[in-house]
Structure 1
Amino acid sequence: METLITLESFVRSAQASSFSAAARRLGLSPAAVSQNVARLETKLGVRLFQRSTRGLTLTEAGERFLREVTDGLDTLQAALANVSLAAGQPSGVLKVSMSPGLGRGYLVPMLKDFLARYPGIVPDWHLDNRPVDLINEGFDAAIGGGFELPSGLAARELARAHIIAVASPSYLAGRTPPREPADLRHHDGILLRPPGTGRIRAWLLRNPAGEQVFAEIPPRIILSDPDALVQCALMGFGITFVTVMDVLPYLRNGTLVRVLSAWHADIGPLSLYYAGQRQLPAKTRVFVDYVVDAFRRQELAKQFSAV
C-alpha cells in the first residue's frame, strides 16, 4: 500500500506540476508528497522532477515513467474501489462541485434516499458558482454548465440551461409588462456581472419564430451572484434574467412571474462531469447513475425547460 501512495504522489504531482496541489487531492501534507516522490526516485535510481521556485518539471526519465505508470495506477485504484461494489457497499468520500442553487434546491434533497442506498459514501459537496478543475482539484464529479471537456473527462447531459426574464408582482403593479425585448428599455434591470469576466452579462434571447435579439435593460442593481439576483427580484427592484432552475419554486408559488414569455436564452447543457476512465470508482459510478436516474424520474429536464 505504501507503494501505491508513492506512485500516486508522483502521478498527481506530475499532473498538477506541484507538490502542494497533489497534496490537496491526496489529503496529505506537501512535505509527505515530496518525501514519497523522493523515496520513489531513490528506489528507481533516477531523478523524476526538476525542482525550482516556479514549480516542478518532469525530466526525460520522469516523462517516460509517467506514460508507463498512469494507466496502470488508474486501473488499480478503480479495482480497489470496486471491491466494495461487489459486496454491495460502495464507500469513500465523494467530492462533488455544483452551484448553490442546484445543490440546495435539487441535489441536497436527494441525499436521504442516496445515503439510505449507499451508507458507506461520505458526501463532500462544494456549493460554488465556479467551474472547477476536476483532475487537479481532486473532485470526483461536478454538475454545471459551460465546462470545457479536456482529455480524460466524460459528461452526461441532464437538462438544457434556459435563461428567462422574471419579476415580482409588486414590481409589475402599475407598470406595463414588456411584451417584446425592446420594451425592456422602460424597465429597471437587476443584472449579473460574473466574477470571472468582470463584464455585465448580455443575454441573446430567441423566440419560437427563430428571431434573436440581445436583451438590453437599464441597470438598477448589478450583482455577481445568481441567487442574489433572485433575492432582489423578490424584493421588487426590477426584472432579472436567471435560469428556470433557479426560480422554479417562486414561479410555482407566484412570488415571481415570467415576463417576455415567448423569449429565452439557451446557454447550453447542464451536465454531470466525471473522469472518463474505463473502470470508474464505485462511489462515483453509483452517484452518476443515481443522479441521471433521479433527473429522469422527476422529469427535471422538462421542468427546467423554458419552451
Structure 2
Amino acid sequence: METLANLECFVRSAETGSFSAAARLLALTPAAVSRNVAMLERNLGVRLFQRSTRKLALTEAGEGFLPSIKDNLDALQAAISAVSTERGEPTGVLKVSLPPTFGLDHVLPLLPQFLARYPQIRPEWHFENRQVDLIAEGYDAAIGGGFELTPGLIARPLTSARLVAVASPAYLKDRELPRHPDDLLAHSGIVMRGLRTGRIRQWQMHNEAGEPVTAHMNQSIVLNDPMAMRNAALLGLGITLLVLPDVNDAIQRGELVRLLPDWSADAGMISLYYPSRTLLPAKTRVFIDFVVEAFGR
C-alpha cells in the first residue's frame, strides 16, 4: 500500500514540474521528494518521470497514472482536513505574500485578532512587491493587485485601488497648487519604475465626468516601492501618485494633502489570491474567510 506522502510528492512534482518546487509546496527537502517518488516508482515497477538537469517530464505511464489518482488524493486530503478541523483548531504554517505598504497598514493589524481566534496557525508572511507563483513557491495565499490569473488561481476582490495625487504641506508651502493633471509637470515628481517591466509607470487620470488625461510627471525621484514613495512624499520631496488606502491615514492626520480631488486613476482591484484546489487546508480557508470578512466590514 502506497503512503499518502509518496502519492502527494508524485502529484505535486507533476503539477510544478520539479522536485524543488514540489518540496517548497510540501515543506520538504528536494531529496525527500525525490526519494518518495523513487519509492513509488519502485513499488509500482514503472518509471513515472523522465528526469533531466532542467525539468521533469511525465512518462507515458506517469501521464496515465496522474489523473487516476489526483482527484482521489484531493478527496482524501479533504476528508483528513475536515476531521482535523472538527477535532481541533486549524494548524500549520500559513505562508502569505503581501505588498509591503498595503500589507503593513491594512493586513498586519488584523493579525492579533486572527491569532486569537486560531492560535495554532503560525504565520509566515513575506512582504514583497512582486507576483509570486503560489503553487511553485509554496504560498498558501497572496494579496496584491494585477496578478495574472493563471489556471488554478482564484481571486477574491478586497478593495478598489484608486490612485490619487498627494504631497506634504512642507512641499506645498509657497507653491501653486495644481488644478489639472497637466499642472503636475510644473512640480517635482516622485515616480515608480515597475519591477516587471522596468519602465516608469504612466497613469491615466479621470475626473467625475470621465474625462481621461495622462498624468505626465517629472522624474525627479524614481523609486520601485510604494512605501518608499510615500515616505519620500512625507519628507517633502515632491508630488506622487499612490493608491488611496496607502495614504488615507496620512491624509487624515494632515501629514499629506490630497491634490486634484476631482481626479484619480484606476489601478484595478486589490485581491486575495489562492490556489483553486478541491481541498484547501483549513488554515488557508479560515484565513481567506477572515480577511474577506474584515475587508467587507
Please report how far the alpha carbon of residue 2 of structure 1 lies from its aligned counterpart in structure 2 after TM superposition.
7.0
Q: Deviations over 1:238-281 (max 9, x none)?
A: 10011111112211111101111111111111111112234322
Code of the residue aligned with 2:123 in structure 1: it is: P
Q: Structure 1 pair 291/261, CA: closer, same or farther in 2 (3 Å)?
A: same
Correspondence for 2:155: 155
Q: Deviations over 1:17-46 (max 9, x none)?
A: 111111122222211111111111111111
Give 1:287-306 correspondences, 5 Å limit. 287-297=287-297
Give 1:122-271 correspondences, 5 Å limit. 122-271=122-271
4+ residue stretches of structure 1 with deviation over 3 A? Answer: none
* In structure 2, distance between residues paired with 1:41 and 1:278: 26
Q: Deviations over 1:109-166 (max 9, x none)?
A: 1111111111111111111111111111111111111112222222211111111111
Percentage of matched positions with identical amino acids: 59
The answer to whether residue 96 in structure 2 is matched with residue 96 in structure 1 is yes
Correspondence for 1:31: 31
- Asked if 1 retains the 8 angstrom alpha-carbon contact of 2:2 and 2:40, the reply is no
* In structure 1, distance between residues paired with 2:161 and 2:236: 25
The answer to whether residue 73 in structure 2 is matched with residue 73 in structure 1 is yes
Code of the residue aligned with 1:56 in structure 2: it is: L
Please report how far the alpha carbon of residue 214 of structure 1 lies from its aligned counterpart in structure 2 after TM superposition.
1.0
* In structure 2, distance between residues paired with 1:69 and 1:204: 49
Q: Deviations over 1:163-182 (max 9, x none)?
A: 11110011111111111011
Code of the residue aligned with 2:271 in structure 1: it is: S
- Asked if 2 retains the 8 angstrom alpha-carbon contact of 1:192 and 1:200, the reply is yes
- Asked if 2 retains the 8 angstrom alpha-carbon contact of 1:191 and 1:201, the reply is yes
Correspondence for 2:9: 9
What are structure 2's unaligned runs of at least 5 residues? none
Q: Structure 1 pair 2/124, CA: closer, same or farther in 2 (3 Å)?
A: farther
Please report how far the alpha carbon of residue 230 of structure 1 lies from its aligned counterpart in structure 2 after TM superposition.
0.6
Code of the residue aligned with 1:288 in structure 2: it is: I
- Asked if 2 retains the 8 angstrom alpha-carbon contact of 1:82 and 1:90, the reply is no
* In structure 2, distance between residues paired with 1:279 and 1:49: 25
* In structure 1, distance between residues paired with 2:92 and 2:26: 13
Secondary structure of the structure 1 residue equivalent to 2:185: helix
* In structure 1, distance between residues paired with 2:226 and 2:167: 14
* In structure 1, distance between residues paired with 2:139 and 2:82: 18
- Asked if 1 retains the 8 angstrom alpha-carbon contact of 2:74 and 2:278, the reply is no
What are structure 1's unaligned runs of at least 5 residues? 298-307
* In structure 2, distance between residues paired with 1:152 and 1:21: 16
Correspondence for 2:286: 286
- Asked if 2 retains the 8 angstrom alpha-carbon contact of 1:84 and 1:90, the reply is yes
- Asked if 1 retains the 8 angstrom alpha-carbon contact of 2:192 and 2:224, the reply is yes
If the length of structure 1 is used for normalisation, what is the TM-score? 0.93
Number of residue equivalences: 297
* In structure 2, distance between residues paired with 1:77 and 1:127: 29
Please report how far the alpha carbon of residue 75 of structure 1 lies from its aligned counterpart in structure 2 after TM superposition.
2.1
* In structure 2, distance between residues paired with 1:261 and 1:178: 10
